[in-house]
Amino acid sequence: MKLLRLAPENTKFPFMRFRRVSYPFSAFLSICSLLLFFLSGMNFGIDFAGGTVIELRAKTGEAEIATLRSTMEKLELGDVEVQAFGNQSDATIRFGPQKGGDVAQQAAVEKVRGSVGSDYELRRVEVVGPRVSGELVQSGTLGVVLSIVAVLTYLWFRFEWQFAVGAVIATMHDLLLTVGFFSLTHLEFNTTSIAAILTIVGYSLNETVVVLDRIREMMRKYKKMPTDQMIDLSINAVLPRTIMTATTVFLALLSLAIFGGHVIRSFSLAMIWGIFVATYSSVFICSPMLIYLGLRNEDTDKAPETAPSKAAKATTRAKPKAA
């Protein structure tokens, strides 16, 4: 069984010594994520941007992407994106909303159907209007916000207020870096990506709660231990469990990213990124925040009461003499 352990037991790694490095590093990554989001934007999928996606499969041989691109340019459908995905015989054609509403959109689909002829099989046609895509954006954002508020409200009542604030900051850190990951890689952001973000939030909060619960346990057990040492002891106690959980989930997601196909690739890659970010934030963001928020053990960092001097004792005990 020792061969299966990914981390040794009874480690004494001083995590809190790195809090002066981890916070500037995380702040830099968060600012870069925001800049990427506003300057580069995100590759919104058909769910949010609206338009049409047509999935093709060549009946014989491989899909000729260059030929398909030149054919689509002649149809004058606006910005048309042709990509290969999955097997070598598969391809997708994506174009934006057409002027004229649903009738024009369906006419564009028929144009594509007629242009590819009998060489390709239309496996899937997905049409999303601008109104529907706008509602999906609002619903997706509202779902993420409400889920975070509900869980963090529970943490506020379940633990001390410092724990809830630390969990809020760590979760927002994970969300910012995930948005930056989508902006940097230009992975397609669709409703599956919303599911990935919610899963990352849940995983991050789970890792954070495990660490916070052990910190609270150590606070009761070691009341005279300095706060930073107590937090280090708590993190080292759950370190084998944290590494084992992250590794097993990573292996499962890596299999999905390699063999799962184009449809869930953005979900798998975002989740792999989220696992590392969530594990990092639970140790180097949430835990040090407890120190900055003034969390202290019951008997730690209290000023010792000064013993009364002998002269004061003598004055207190002395009885006034009779006149």
Residue 299 dihedral angles phi and psi, to the nearest 5°:
-110, 10
pLDDT band of 7, cuts 50, 70, 90: low
Which carries the bigger pLDDT value, residue 124 or residue 303? 124
| C-alpha span between 16 and 224 (Å, rounded) | 18
Please tell me the total count of domains within the chain: 2
Same domain? For 64 and 174 the reply is: no
DSSP H or E segment with residue 56: strand 51-58
Label residue 21 left, alpha or beta by phi (over 0 means left) and psi (-120 to 50 means alpha): alpha
Which residues sit opposite 57 in a β-bridge?
A: 90, 121
pLDDT of residue 305: 41
The two three-digit tokens of residue 65, written as one number? 């992407």
Same domain? For 77 and 198 the reply is: no
Please report whether residue 322 resides in a domain.
Answer: no
Please report whether residue 37 resides in a domain.
Answer: yes
Q: Which of 128, 154, 187 is the last residue of a domain?
A: 128
- Percent of the residues in the chain that have a pLDDT greater than 90, as a whole number: 13
Same domain? For 123 and 153 the reply is: no
Same domain? For 120 and 168 the reply is: no
Q: pLDDT tens digits for 47-71?
A: 677 778 888 888 887 888 888 888 8
Question: How many Å separate Cα 92 from the centre of its chain?
Answer: 28
DSSP β-ladder status, 90-95 and 43-44: unpaired
- Interhelix angle 19-39/161-185, rounded to 10 degrees, is 50
Q: pLDDT tens digits for 99-133?
A: 777 777 788 888 888 887 778 888 888 877 655 55
The answer to whether the beta carbons of residues 172 and 144 sit under 8 Å apart is no
Question: How many Å separate Cα 14 from the centre of its chain?
Answer: 26
| C-alpha span between 36 and 29 (Å, rounded) | 10
DSSP H or E segment with residue 217: helix 191-221
For the ranges 206-210, 296-300, 317-321, the one whose mean pLDDT is highest: 206-210
- C-alpha distances (whole Å) from 96 to each of 73, 76, 105 are 13, 12, 9
pLDDT band of 298, cuts 50, 70, 90: low
Please report whether residue 310 resides in a domain.
Answer: no
DSSP classification of residue 201: H
Q: Taking residues 207-224, report their average pLDDT.
A: 86
Q: pLDDT tens digits for 252-279?
A: 999 988 887 766 888 899 999 999 999 9
Please report whether residue 104 resides in a domain.
Answer: yes
Same domain? For 83 and 185 the reply is: no
**Dmax over Cα atoms in the chain, in whole Å?**
126
Say if residue 206's pLDDT is above 90: no
Q: Which of 128, 151, 180 is the last residue of a domain?
A: 128
DSSP H or E segment with residue 312: helix 310-317
pLDDT of residue 134: 64
| C-alpha span between 202 and 198 (Å, rounded) | 6
Q: Classify 209 as helix, strand or coil.
A: helix
Query: Global pTM?
Result: 0.73
The two three-digit tokens of residue 43, written as one number? 């590759």
Segments forming the whole domain that contains residue 56: 51-128
CATH number at residue 113: 3.30.70.3400
Same domain? For 217 and 284 the reply is: yes
Say if residue 33's pLDDT is above 90: yes
DSSP β-ladder status, 90-95 and 188-189: unpaired
Same domain? For 265 and 205 the reply is: yes
